[in-house]
Chain A
Amino acid sequence: EIVLTQSPGTLSLSPGERATLSCRASQSVSSSYLAWYQQKPGQAPRLLIYGASSRATGIPDRFSGSGSGTDFTLTISRLEPEDFAVYYCQQYGRSPLFTFGPGTKVDIK
């Protein structure tokens, strides 16, 4: 089973700052199989990035994904007030079919 670790657990930043979120896998993951989601309190998760670096429909270009192998990164170039939320990475594998990281909370400094 591939385990995903996300760091930091909490990121305290101000609007306009750059956010860099890390997702590390315990084994190599195909880039096609790595996705990122945003979740706000009381809401369902929203797909941001799939295939490690492809933005989902309607996602602003301040969100970008990169990485390969075991190390992946979600970058928010300039934080907007609506970007303060919890972010999860997710990988597709064999057993279990899907796993999520524990999440990184981006809150207002």
Chain B
Amino acid sequence: EVQLLESGGGLVQPGGSLRLSCAASGFTFSSSAMSWVRQAPGKGLEWVSAISGSGGSTSYADSVKGRFTISRDNSKNTLYLQMNSLRAEDTAVYYCAKGGSSPGPYYFDYWGQGTLVTVSS
């Protein structure tokens, strides 16, 4: 059974930093592209960042480029999101999502339950 468990969310002041983690199990983690997707309170879904299975390729939404860094540790089956220079508009539930396999990682076939990040003074 595929499981994705996020952690690391919480309350942080504007300008602060936070690191999210996503522990994965039930599939070959190193073979799967992974993403972070966020959802502001009462709003829709916004893709944040993606990383290839090897970790060699990353991509970011313009809204977080230069502030957020996605990474992974395949030996620990864990995905990370380092978030710096946080702003009020980064307040959201952050989901870890597994990229699909067939025909390619063009969708998200499994999602974690999310972790809430609140940026406020």
Contact = CB atoms under 8 A, between A and B. Distances in A.
Given A44-B114, A46-B111, A50-B109, A97 B104 contact: no
Given A45-B45, A45-B95, A96-B62, A56 B103 contact: no
Interface of A: 32-33, 35, 37, 39, 43-47, 50-51, 56-57, 88, 90, 92, 96-103
A32 B106 contact: yes
Contacts of A101: 44
Contacts, number: 64
Interface of B: 35, 37, 44-47, 50, 59, 61-62, 95, 100, 103-114
A80 to B, nearest CB: 22
Contact of A90 (B59, B107, B111, B113): B107
B109 A56 contact: yes
B109 A96 contact: no
B44 A92 contact: no
B72 to A, nearest CB: 16
Interface centre among A50, A56, A97 (most CB of B within 10 A): A97
A107 to B, nearest CB: 15
Contacts of A47: 100, 107-110
Contacts of B61: 96
A51 B107 CA distance: 9
